[in-house]
Structure 1
Amino acid sequence: MNELEIFQELKNRILNSYRDFYPYFQGDWKNFSSKDIRQLIELIEENQKETVSEKWIYTHLKSETNEKLPRKDLLDIFSKFVGVSSWEEFAYQERLKTTQPRVSKKSKKNTNKKKFRKRYFLVLLIPIIGFTVYEWAIHLNKKTILIKNEITKQPVQESEVEVYHLTNDSKKKLKMENSRVEIPNTSDKISIESPYFEEQEIQLSSTVEEIYIKPEDYALVLKRFIESDWDDWEVRKEKLNKILSEDLEVILFLKDELGAEHLNKKEFSEKLILPTQETKKMKILTIETNANKEITFIRIQKS
């Protein structure tokens, strides 16, 4: 088994590990979208504290065949992502699978009979009970918290906030589903971060079931502008002029790591006054406001 064949197996294992976090993805690398790529990059950053570019994933993982092996440091990163310490260990394990001697059916059948005679019902039952108790204990040791908009009292969208579990020496992103986040009971503090809501750290108690976060009104208005199809361009222009500061600075990151554009208030407003399908694909990463709540800085990713 050569190294390129082993790399193909690593690619399969990467998809399996990705499904552990996003089980609804059931495709292959051909179906791996730009959204999946960004989510995979985030998982690598959170779990490995390493950085991988979208271009590298397009070049080495999404391609159906590979003519040469990628750099070893990237192979090490993805080997760790699938639960192995390094690329060398992963390659060793894969070669070991192909060199293990085969056992004849007759010999294997006799061996299985001998093992079966030695087993007792209690021996089979113990691990089942142990696993059930373990799962039950984990469930009891967690609590679910609903996150709501402080003004509207409505649940916030998963795409609008990120929640992190804070400990003395780490910060781990928690998964949100249906506006709820599951938090270990041992967690004493969480951080809620968002371009659209005031960021805050919250000290938890056993009685907390809902958390209310205060919206950044102008940021949410801007988000609706990007996503909407309003026909009245004069109304859009008037409202944009109100929420955007005169000294606005916008950094627009281009897709596929092709660089970034710097826009001022006039240039950015022109893109939103008459929106296009390209405008709707913009994702707000960061927003900063001044004392008057006017937006002074925006960082946007173009997908």
Structure 2
Amino acid sequence: MKNRSKEISAFRKLLEQVAIAFRVDYPSADPDISKWKGKVIQDFQEDLRQKAGGSISEKWFYSHAKNRPAKLPRIDVLDLLSNYAGYQGWNAYLGQYMQSGVYRPKSDRKKLLWMVLTAAILIAGVYAFIPRKNTYYFCFVDADKKEAITEIAIDVIILNEEESPRYLKSDSLGCFSWTSREKYIRFIAQSPYHKNDTIYSSFSGDSDREVRLRTDDYALMLDYYSNRNVKDWKRRRAELQRLIADDALIFELLPFQLGVEIYNKEEFIQKLITPTQSLQKLEVIETAYKDGQLVKLKFRIKQ
């Protein structure tokens, strides 16, 4: 009975290591595996299938990962999770766990405690002189729809000083992570259907931070027109109808301080869904939203 209790504790620790392994490719997932749900569980099932050659059901996940089970799962599932976490199997993992010092006899505990404290002091002294690594997390959001950009991968170019540019892509959740000893990060976000943007951010230890990208309507409409994609063209028009309030105030600042031109909703939507040169040069200056709809917009056509 005592050994069974230790094995269940070892299983719970294994789930923590499984969560760590999963967050290597899915950094936005909660470190606590018991809080996973929906899409995260589905992504884990697929990642487990690809990396360990097997899978578990959602029912199993809710029974064993989200609750505190009174008994161990089947040995084949234990082997599968152990392989995913980097071990040769459950027995190999359990052997290392039992030898880790957690269950040493009482007579050895004082000696072990002094050894651990001494090692901790030495490590802390060395660590104090080593620059810490900072991990940055960013998620891309469509500035108009206020939704995560997941349909296409965003190209990310890291531009920190004294380093060659590094190239990344956002993951299936529209996010990416980057680890560096620098206290800031500078990167370019590129997308075929969004305006490119350069982001500069200092490290603050926050969780995921949003990067809002504006839709490049010229590139989007040009693609729809050139490929005769009537369905998506109509969908974009319907999106704009929902996003822009019927009584929105829309101003174009004319060049050379000639004044402003006022558009109604339908006129502005027609401008956005026609791939002209002026649309390519359209630059948004100011926006205001109310109840999720655009109620005010100022823009200009760059000369």
TM range (shorter): 0.3 to 0.5
Q: TM-score, normalised by structure 2?
A: 0.39
Q: Give the TM-score, by structure 1 length.
A: 0.39
| Higher helix proportion | 1
**Higher-Rg member (1/2):** 2
